[in-house]
Amino acid sequence: MRFAVNNYTTFGLFYSNSRKIEIFDKRLKKNLTVANQDIVRDSIVQSARDLFSRFGFRKTTMDDIALSMRKGKSSIYYYFKSKEDIFEAVVDSEASELKSRLKEVLRKNTDDPKEQLRQYIAERLKLVQQLANFYNALRSDYLSHLEFITHVRERYSNEEIHTLEVILKVGIRKGVYQINDPRIASVAIVTAMQGMENPIFLGKLQDLEIGIRLDAILDIIFHGITTRNDH
């Protein structure tokens, strides 16, 4: 009788451990499957990003994306419902990259408000060329029918104005800037930067010209356009 109990107990422990291993194995496989799906999805986004940058949203097709991935079109549709969905993922990816790089600029120049603002604007203008899909989404009338584009434009514009407002307020506290309304000043700076975007994006400005225009904008921001009478 004692032997039977021990035998049953042993069997119970064995079954319990086997069940735990089975559950663990299923979870592991599920996690690996999710990880693999994320890798494939990211690869699709990256391939589409390159194609959108080269040919634009309108001319790029799902067939092009599938061909660049060396996959069947059905494989692409497994992850995305449409070309619009892929483009949204691309824009989100570039928006995240933009925020990350601009935050890094702000972290590096915390002591000097002028240098912080200068580096922020300079880095932003560099990104106009590199993050072509994101900026194209912000400007293109053709893409206006995509519902998410309106949200991207509004969110990005508000975030950028807020970021510049914070930079200016820090400068005001340190006695570097004398500004009555930091928010209006932030809107003016954003508008000035947007005025440089089109020629940069179209490749009509070389690096030297960009630097000259940037210095001119910053000179106006820091010193204004009127002469000062100190007497």
Indicate the domain borders of the chain: 2-77, 82-223
Mean pLDDT in residue range 133-142: 75
Range with the poorest average pLDDT among 57-61, 160-164, 183-187, 198-202: 198-202
Q: Is the pLDDT of residue 80 over 80?
A: yes
Query: Which among 183, 41, 171 is positioned nearest to 106, based on CA atoms?
Result: 171
**What architecture is domain 2-77?**
Orthogonal Bundle (1.10)
Residue with tokens 């601009």, as numbered in its chain = 102
Length of the chain, in residues: 231
> What is the reported pLDDT for 43?
93
Three-point CA angle 176, 178, 182, nearest 5°: 105
Are the C-beta atoms of 168 and 185 separated by less than 8 Å?
yes
Q: Is the pLDDT of residue 10 over 60?
A: no
Task: Confirm or reject CATH 3.40.50.1970 for domain 82-223, answering yes or no.
Answer: no
Residue 14's alpha-carbon distances to 18, 22, 167, in angstroms, are 6, 12, 64
Q: How confident is the model at residue 61 (pLDDT cuts 50, 70, 90)?
A: very high
Mean pLDDT in residue range 128-156: 78
Q: Is the pLDDT of residue 40 over 80?
A: yes
Range with the poorest average pLDDT among 27-41, 85-99, 166-180, 215-229: 27-41
CA 125 – CA 189 distance, rounded (Å) = 13
Query: Which among 165, 161, 95, 166 is positioned nearest to 132, based on CA atoms?
Result: 95
Q: Is the pLDDT of residue 81 over 50?
A: yes
Identify the DSSP state of 82: S
Range with the poorest average pLDDT among 48-52, 63-67, 220-224: 220-224
Highest mean pLDDT among 20-24, 104-108, 197-201: 104-108
Q: Decide if 2-77 and 82-223 have a common fold.
A: no
Tokens of 126: 């560099």
Average pLDDT of the chain, as a whole number = 80
Helical axes 113-130 vs 207-223, angle rounded to 10°: 150
Are the C-beta atoms of 185 and 179 separated by less than 8 Å?
yes
Tokens of 202: 């179209």
Which has more confidence, 72 or 35? Answer: 72
Highest mean pLDDT among 126-130, 137-141, 190-194: 190-194
Tokens of 73: 């079109």
